[in-house]
Chain A
Amino acid sequence: MEAHKITQLLNAHASGNKEAFAELVPLIYDELYRMAQNRLYRERPGHTLNATALVHEAYLKLARFDQLNYQNSSHFFAIASQAMRNILVDYAIKQKAQKRGGKNSPVTLGEADANMEINVLDVLSVHQALERLSVLDERQARIVECRFFGGLTIEETAQALNVSEPTVNRDWKIARAWLNKELAEEKKQ
């Protein structure tokens, strides 16, 4: 059972085994697809999927298979956020390349989102800015990752990263201001 494996890896990761993460992320991907698959099946086509709910649901499913302890559950959210960031960045890079290729493909199953292009580029900008931010303050970058990519609340972020809520709040405020400024300057250029 994959869920069981994920739990094991989470535990290993939590106890300081950095290599566990490399193994963990693809498993979380898979779990997220399955969740997505399951949810999409039940939603009307075109219904926007709530990614936060997706992550939560993935966790709940894991928890049902295996008794995750509290520490691990929080931890899972942080890793899922990181996984989501990786997925999105990969996707954005591919989309960007495809746009350059200028292929005219017959997409007939559902409508393409006209605003997608901007979002894809924005995601890359956020990702790159976060890399720079992590040099200044690693924790702030992680907080943005959880909030923006993982869709977590302040409270959940605090649990996931094991810091206090006021700290998350304060860090989030300045990190958000800094990113706003960085990205606005980037756009001007």
Chain B
Amino acid sequence: MKNPHNPDRWKKIKEIFSNALELKDEEQREYLRRACHGDAVLLEEVESLLDAYHTSGILDQSIDELKESALSQLKNQKTLGKQFGAYRIIEELGHGGMGAVFLAERADSVFQQQVAFKMLRTGFLIDDQILRFKSERRILASLNHNNIARLYDGGISDDGQPWFVMEYVKGQPIDEYCNSHNLSLGKRLELFLEVCDAVQYAHSNLIAHRDLKPGNIFVTEEGKVKLLDFGIAKMLEPEDRKKDELPPTLTGMLPFTPAYASPEQVRKQTITTSSDIYQLGVILYELLTGLRPYDLKGKTPGDVERTICETEPKRPSIAVAKNTKEQKPPVTGSGKEEGIVHFHKKLRGDLDTIVMKCLNKEPQRRYQSTGELADDIRAYLAGKPVSAHPDSWIYRSGKFIRRYKWGVAAAVIFAVVLTIYAVTITWYSHKSRIALGEAERERAKSGQMVDFLLSMFEASDPAEARGATITARELLERGVNQAEALSDQPEVQGQMYTVTGLVFKSLGEFEEALPLIERALDITNTLYDESHPEVAKLHYNLAEILHSIGNFRRAYDHYTIAADLFQNLPGHVSLEYAASLHNIGVARHDETSKEDILKALEVRKKLLDHNHLLVADSYLAMGNFHLYRGEHDMAQNYFQKTLYVVKSHENVVTPQMASIIQNLGDGKRIMGEFRKAETHLLNAIEIYQSLYDGSHVNIAIAKKSLADVYRDSNNYSAAEKYYDLEMKVLVESVGENHPFRRPILQSKANLYTRMGDHASAEPLLRETLALLESVLNPNHPRIASARHALGTCLIELHQYSEAENLLIQSLETYSENPDESQQSAMKQNLEELVKLFEIRGKDREAEMYSKQLTDLIDNE
């Protein structure tokens, strides 16, 4: 039925069609009916063309890629029958992005040997390059390994194109082979080990492949691995020292396949064998998951570079689990990889770790040799611990446990903890000088192990840490249970509580950590006297935990004890000591604070780099100290120092960094620099948001600070909205009783007071006061200011007698610490009292406080 028209009728159709296109829908119908004069066939024809006009078809797609292939094939055809060196081209086997592959044979017919002939489609421009190509070719020809396709010959054609003659390998790319044979995880790994062996052999001959990918790794019909194109990529690359002299377009031709390129490759940095290890990681990832670590589809070169150099790929187990859930087909292979979805449980743990170690952005943090990588895979296959987690206590325990089943698991944990701490325990009984030195060294060693263990949980990515807590937690809980039963061995029991407590602490599970550290301290107190460093450390850790859960009063006590004990330890200048001093200073919030904060700063500067964030933390505390005393110049000076350090860590994304920037923002707000304050706080919020999910306490607190800026810059409605929002988030995530509710309550009360809405402020001020009284000493300056605020509010609400009590109490506290920082608060307090008594007609009292006020002003 095709083409039922003649040219005349077609002309008519075209005319009606073109006219109809000009019209609106409703006019079109009418026009068509008239134009077709009851010719139903014509009408239908035009209507169907109009429909087709509005669909998109082949003509709207680009055929550029096809054009390119067609042109290069034409070129290849001209190659057939030609002779290069001793080889004659027989037929084309295929072609791709970088060139074409032909079947060829020796022209002299001495041997009936079929070879693969590769013609690269890039040409050489520089004489140096041609020379280097020739020398490289000789080196490559010397590679003689069963799993590496031999290079027989190579040269450069008349029109400057390099060619190679290689062993002709019949087979499939490794990924296709694995999938079409539906290989098990174990078999895939064994095949991959063969690949590693070949790569290791080449590396030992100082040759890197530089373009490892499944398409270059064939598996023959006999199941043997063959690596193709070893070192070819390097030959095509302009020499390093020449790179600068080349036009920029030429440096862009570095041959690699983006999906498998290492960060140093896409950045065009120096390539070493470590790049191969990275590429092996990508291949392993793909063999185990059917997916690639990064989705580069449709990305521009710039996006590709950013993705590869800056983003973390999903761990293989997570990638598979997610992919299965979303039912997306794997990106590679023939579609026969249903088997892979069952791998994901096996991937979690060692295989994840092995792959991720290969994929590290920094070459020095990858496996240092292919041999190491192969060893880890062999260890995994044998069920032994792999090296990828050196010295990890939890990890090794987990490994033992999986091997020996749960029956003995707890006993094993116990044994490991015992080993780590045995030396610390013996320390006390061998207090001779020699033993002391030795014990110190050993202790340092075991301390390192614990540090490592703890650092495992301080993952920069909390999402990752959350994943790890599931297994670690189980392990820890079993450790605690086991410790309960150890009351006849108090030393070990104490250490057990300490270790598990500290792990919980580093996981942010402070409520869990608290009783453990308390018990550890109790036990340790019965074993050692106060000169034992362990006692000081436990007080310090207890203080840290208490501080984190908002019990500042108890935290302060333990920081003080810890600081005293540390001070008496000979030569004990530690970061814990500094932290204790720092926190005492900050908590005390009075004239004497300065001394402690500065001493802590000194210790930190001595032990750390001067640009360390802890140093910034000290500067910040000094800034705040001066700020609250109204010494804005001094404060500004310290804030400047803080900012200077912070800026040298621009790309550091940690809670500590965010906290410092946030505090800096708070400082700037108080100094009235609202715009700067806002910038800092938004920055801090951004860091927190990249670390935590949206409901995290720290985000809520930082947003609260931002709301304070809006409040102080008189943007009341924005501030109120933020407070309410953050309070809601906070209560939903941590519950009604979290200590961090208080700062929001207090700020919001302050807002209502500024707005003159004292009735709304009152309940908030009451709650604030009650919360502060539950965690601080009764004469703490912050309690005084909370009473002061409530008292002032109650005057406005005509609740005079209660206001009187509160204001007299706050005045007393202020008077106990008569330093400058309290001066203005005291003045205000006195003014309120004078006003109160005047209102109530108690002239005598009013006069008394009025006199105090004048005295105070006169003394200034």
Residues of A that sit less than 8 Å from B by CB: 29, 32-33, 36-37, 40-46, 48-51, 54, 84, 87-88, 90-92, 94, 103-113, 116, 119-120, 122-123, 125-126, 132, 135-137, 144, 147-149, 151, 170-171, 173-174, 176-184
Contact = CB atoms under 8 A, between A and B. Distances in A.
A120 B66 CA distance: 8
A123 B66 contact: yes
Given A44-B253, A181-B49, A108 B67 contact: no
Contacts of A109: 95-101, 118, 120, 229
Nearest to B11: A137
B197 to A, nearest CB: 20
A182 B5 CA distance: 13
Interface string B55-87: 111110101111111111111000000000000
Contacts of B17: 173-174, 177
Interface of B: 2-3, 5-7, 10-11, 13-14, 17-18, 21, 48-53, 55-59, 61, 63-75, 93-101, 116, 118, 120-123, 169-172, 215-216, 218, 228-229, 249-250, 252-255, 257-258, 301
Identify the interface centre among B17, B56, B69: most chain A CB within 10 Å of its CB: B69
A123 B63 CA distance: 9
Contacts of B250: 42
A87 to B, nearest CB: 5
A24 to B, nearest CB: 16
A136 B3 contact: yes
A89 to B, nearest CB: 9
B53 A176 contact: yes
Nearest to B78: A33
25 contacts: A36-B71, A37-B121, A40-B68, A40-B72, A42-B250, A43-B253, A46-B258, A91-B73, A106-B218, A108-B215, A108-B216, A109-B100, A109-B229, A116-B65, A123-B63, A126-B58, A132-B3, A136-B3, A136-B10, A170-B14, A173-B17, A180-B55, A181-B49, A183-B58, A184-B57
B709 to A, nearest CB: 48
Given A36-B72, A49-B64, A173 B215 contact: no
Contacts of B258: 46
Contacts of B97: 45-46, 109-111
Nearest to B166: A108
Contacts of B122: 40-41, 45
Contacts of A123: 63, 66
A107 B173 CA distance: 9
A176 B59 contact: yes
B98 A84 contact: no
Given A105-B101, A109-B97, A182-B2, A33 B74 contact: yes
Contacts of B49: 174, 177-178, 181
Nearest to B75: A33
Contacts of A113: 65, 69
Contacts of B229: 108-109
Contacts of A179: 57-59
A36 to B, nearest CB: 5
Nearest to A136: B10
Contact of B5 (A105, A122, A136): A136
Given A87-B70, A91-B70, A106-B93, A111 B59 contact: no
A11 to B, nearest CB: 26
A37 B97 CA distance: 12
B282 to A, nearest CB: 14
Contacts of B120: 109
Contacts of A84: 67
B64 A50 contact: yes
Given A33-B71, A51-B64, A180-B56, 17 more contacts: A42-B253, A46-B97, A48-B65, A49-B65, A50-B64, A90-B74, A91-B66, A106-B116, A106-B170, A107-B101, A109-B99, A120-B66, A122-B61, A135-B3, A137-B10, A149-B63, A182-B2
B68 A177 contact: no
B130 to A, nearest CB: 15
B215 A36 contact: no
Contact of B66 (A88, A105, A111): A88
A148 B62 CA distance: 8
Contacts of B169: 106
B96 A44 contact: no
A184 B94 contact: no
B77 to A, nearest CB: 9
A45 B256 CA distance: 8
Mostly, the A contact residues are helix
B73 A94 contact: yes
A132 B101 CA distance: 38
A171 B56 CA distance: 17
Contact of B52 (A90, A126, A171, A181): A181
B96 A107 contact: yes
Contacts of A33: 71, 74-75
A22 to B, nearest CB: 17
Contacts of A149: 63
Contacts of B11: 137
B40 to A, nearest CB: 18
A107 B94 contact: yes
Contacts of A32: 71
B253 A41 contact: yes
Contacts of A170: 14, 18
Contacts of A105: 93-94, 101
Contacts of B7: 135-137
A174 B67 contact: no
A51 B67 contact: yes
Contacts of B171: 106
A179 B5 CA distance: 14
B69 A91 contact: yes
Given A107-B95, A109-B98, A88 B70 contact: yes
A91 B71 CA distance: 9
Given A51-B63, A109-B118, A120-B66, A177 B73 contact: no
A92 B216 CA distance: 27
B59 A148 contact: yes
A42 B254 CA distance: 10
Given A107-B95, A144-B59, A177 B70 contact: no
A110 B215 CA distance: 8
Given A87-B74, A119-B66, A184-B52, A43 B215 contact: no
A40 to B, nearest CB: 6
A15 B331 CA distance: 55
A147 B11 CA distance: 21
B301 A110 contact: no
Contacts of B93: 103, 105-107
Given A41-B122, A105-B94, A110-B97, A148 B63 contact: yes
Contacts of A29: 74
A41 B236 CA distance: 11
Identify the interface centre among B10, B70, B172, B250: most chain A CB within 10 Å of its CB: B70
A51 B68 contact: yes
Given A94-B73, A116-B66, A136-B5, A173 B21 contact: yes
The 3 A-B pairs at the shortest CB distance, nearest first, are namely A110-B97, A110-B96, A107-B94
Contacts of B51: 181
A125 B94 CA distance: 24
Contacts of B301: 44
A35 to B, nearest CB: 9
Contacts of A171: 14
A58 to B, nearest CB: 11
A111 B14 CA distance: 44
Nearest to B255: A45
Contacts of B57: 176, 179-180, 183-184
A182 B6 CA distance: 16
A69 to B, nearest CB: 28
A41 B255 CA distance: 11
Contact of A126 (B5, B18, B59, B74): B59
A63 B169 CA distance: 47
A49 B218 contact: no
